[in-house]
Amino acid sequence: MEFKYDLRDLKFILKEWLPSQEVFDCERFKGNFSLDDVDMLLNEGYKVAREVLNPINAPGDKIGVKLVNGQPVPVPGFKEAYQFLQQNGWGSSSECIKVETGMPLILYKAIFEMNTAACPALTSCVKLTSGAANLILRFGTQKDNDMFIPKMLAGDWQGTMCLTEPNFGSDTGDIVTRAYPTDDPRIWKIKGTKMFITAGDQGTGENTIHLVLARPEKGAPGSPGIGLYIVPKFWVNDDGSMGEPNDVTTATLEHKMGLHAQATALLNFGDEDNCRGILLGPPPDEKGYSKGLAMMFHMMNESRIGTGHNSNSQAAAACYFAAQYATERVQGRPFGIKRAERVPIIKHEDIRRMILDMKATVEGIRAMIFKGFYFLDIEGNSSDKEKARKYAEFAEILTPLVKGYGSEASLGVIANAIQILGGVGYSTEYPVEQYLRDSKILTIWEGTSFIHANDLIGRKMRMKDGAPFAHWMASIKEFIDANIKAKGFEKEMKSLTKGFEALSEVKNTFDSWYANMDSKRQLIPLNALRALFVCAQVYVSYCLLEQALIAAKKLAEVKKGTSDAIYYEGKIASARYYLNNILPQVVLTTELIKSEEDIVITCPEESLLIN
């Protein structure tokens, strides 16, 4: 079966649901993009996903990238596909800030979603180059920009993000990689080891540009003391040409569960005391404070939403494959009907339940993700400063929801896809098991699910005395109030109202725990991920219902049985399923949170182990 993707839903998002024209009208994009371009760009992007990327996905998984005599050997076709995306406007040159050729995120990400579904190992490499380039574009000098950006955007040089060290993963603030000053205030000597670096030595281009977090000598302890440095694998001369090796060595590539085509490297910087890095941003102040971590995280909202997007794209691809398979696999007879013929499994209630569960989850999370990209587009480009500020805060709140819920829920979707295929779903002959292996990392990198749950309840709910979170909740409430009597959706509106009440109770419960830290301290992290699920499931429900109301109107206008009519019926079914089958779980989760059930805390630690 060939790779298929739901182009129609992406077109609905851009042309029928989001106010895309508002984004296209922003000064940066004006005259370059219009709603009329959407179909053509998405159709072309789909072609690239099918013809360029998907053909290398399964072979890349089987062959895997290798390190031979210290040199990376990419899987066949990987380097060419990477450069194809970068050189033809499907990669970093369309994604980066401040670049003339930049696309609105809502449009770029719709295309990128299909590419990711087709070959997730490859698109993360593109994404990392965009992330590294964005940091240089935002915080670098003109000279830094001139030296690095053209080659990175052209696909000649790969970018990476180097945070993790052998002893410091979630604890980024404690890293021990060091930066030592030289006679030139711009250049520092870097020494340390970074672990698990994606595309750390990928072989896609002639140079790799690492963005490295390191603590300058005499830097303050903890997060405020960390600086950010551009550390090329090969030194880059002032005129942008490539110089000698920069004392960055690849100790090994990880052997891992999935993403075999992607080089996850253990990198040593400065074994020979000869590794140079270019300081990004200001030097440490007299207290030893630097802005490295803050700069890195400044650019993180988009990449963390991107991680949730990555997982949802893979889940979507698995969903479409399984649904198609269910129409072809003949097995079993209709329940309770004597002497009936065997039927395609899509006729079975349990299979239909799993398909609709997958479809509703994928479409709902996709909707939440694209709200996030829309908010980021307005934040970055709108001349309406008040709106930009408000949407920046909404994007901040959505970031942990998309990253945490998106990546966790995708695993359930892909597991269902495997279930639908039965035994062959577990076999490497079919593509769905690879999606499970390739996507599990997405609950871990860019901060684990717990780290995002902690960010939600500790920071996002409470920042600026809770005002942005209150505004975000109000945006859901406004929708409920305006549509409470929506004809044909009374049941779903009631469900959303209950979900919203549960969300309010969760917020109040956490407020009261924070006000009583002495006695309630441990309940906060214990329930953090549960709270994240409540927030995300309510927001997903709101998005799906907003979409369903549009679909219902359109359905009344189109001819029955047409592909549009079928799509709108499917959209309404997704909303009904999610609101009536998944959202009610938040009421139970909220009861659990409020009950302060604490066996996890009170049982002796030894009882968790084998004696």
Binding site residues, ligand FAD, CB under 6 A: 160-164, 169-170, 196-198, 256, 264, 441, 444-445, 447-448, 450-451, 525
- Give Cβ neighbours of residue 504 (< 8 Å, ≥ 6 apart): 473
Q: How far apart are CA 393 and CA 376, in angstroms?
A: 10
41 vs 163, beta carbon nearer ligand FAD: 163
Shortest reach from residue 160's CB to ligand FAD, in Å: 6
Rounded Cα distance, 127 and 105, in Å:
13
| Choice between 169 and 288, CB closer to ligand FAD | 169
Minimum CB distance to ligand FAD, residue 588 (Å):
23
Q: Which residue has the tokens 């441990």?
A: 522
The two three-digit tokens of residue 417, written as one number: 């896809």
Question: For residue 379, which of 366, 388, 369 has the smallest C-alpha distance?
Answer: 388
CA distance 353 to 360: 10
Q: Please give the Cα distance from 148 to 526 (Å, whole number).
A: 44
Active site residues: 446
Cα–Cα dist 374/390, whole Å:
12
Residue 246 CB-density burial (10 A; 0-12 exposed, 13-18 middle, 19+ buried): buried
Shortest separation between residue 329's beta carbon and ligand FAD, angstroms: 33
If the CB atoms of residues 264 and 547 are measured against ligand FAD, the closer one turns out to be 264
- 158: three-class secondary structure by DSSP: strand
What is the CB-side half-sphere exposure of residue 218 using CA atoms within 13 A? 8
* Residue closer to ligand FAD (CB basis): 102 or 227: 227
Task: Give me Rg for the CA atoms of the chain.
Answer: 25
Give the SS3 label for residue 225: helix
As a whole number of angstroms, the distance between CA 412 and CA 261 comes to 24
Whichever of 389 and 521 has its CB closer to ligand FAD, that residue is 521
* Shortest separation between residue 382's beta carbon and ligand FAD, angstroms: 31
User: Please, what is the minimum distance in Å from the beta carbon of residue 411 to ligand FAD?
Assistant: 14
Residue 189, φ and ψ in degrees, nearest 5: -90, 130
One-letter amino acid at 544 equals L
Amino acid sitting at position 396: E
Minimal distance in Å, beta carbon 73 to ligand FAD? 18
Question: Closest CB to ligand FAD among 375 and 445?
Answer: 445
- Burial of 184: CB neighbours in 10 Å, binned 0-12, 13-18, 19+: exposed
In the complex with ligand FAD, the residue whose CB is nearer, 248 or 441, is 441
What does the alpha-carbon distance between residue 43 and residue 14 come to, in Å, rounded to a whole number? 13
If DSSP codes are grouped into helix, strand and coil, which group holds residue 101? coil
Question: What phi, psi does 161 have (nearest 5°)?
Answer: -120, 120
* Strand pairing report for 157-162 and 178-181: unpaired
Calpha distance 88→83 (Å, rounded): 8
Stated length of the chain: 611
Contact 33, 104 (CB under 8 A): yes
CB 182 to ligand FAD: min, Å: 25
CB of 212 to ligand FAD, least distance (A): 9
Cβ distance to ligand FAD smaller for residue 164 or 407? 164
Which pair of tokens denotes residue 162?
């180097």
Q: Give the CA-trace dihedral at 499, 504, 510, 513, to 10 degrees.
A: -120
When CB distances to ligand FAD are compared, the closest residue is 169
In the numeric block, the tokens 């490539």 are attached to 242
* Nearest CB to ligand FAD, comparing residues 46 and 513: 513
Give whichever of 111 and 195 is closer to ligand FAD, judged by the CB atom: 195
Q: Cβ of residue 34: shortest distance to ligand FAD, in angstroms?
A: 36
Distance CA 402, CA 322 (A): 24
Helix (H, G, I), strand (E, B) or coil at 264: strand
Kindly state the smallest distance separating residue 413's Cβ from ligand FAD, in Å: 21
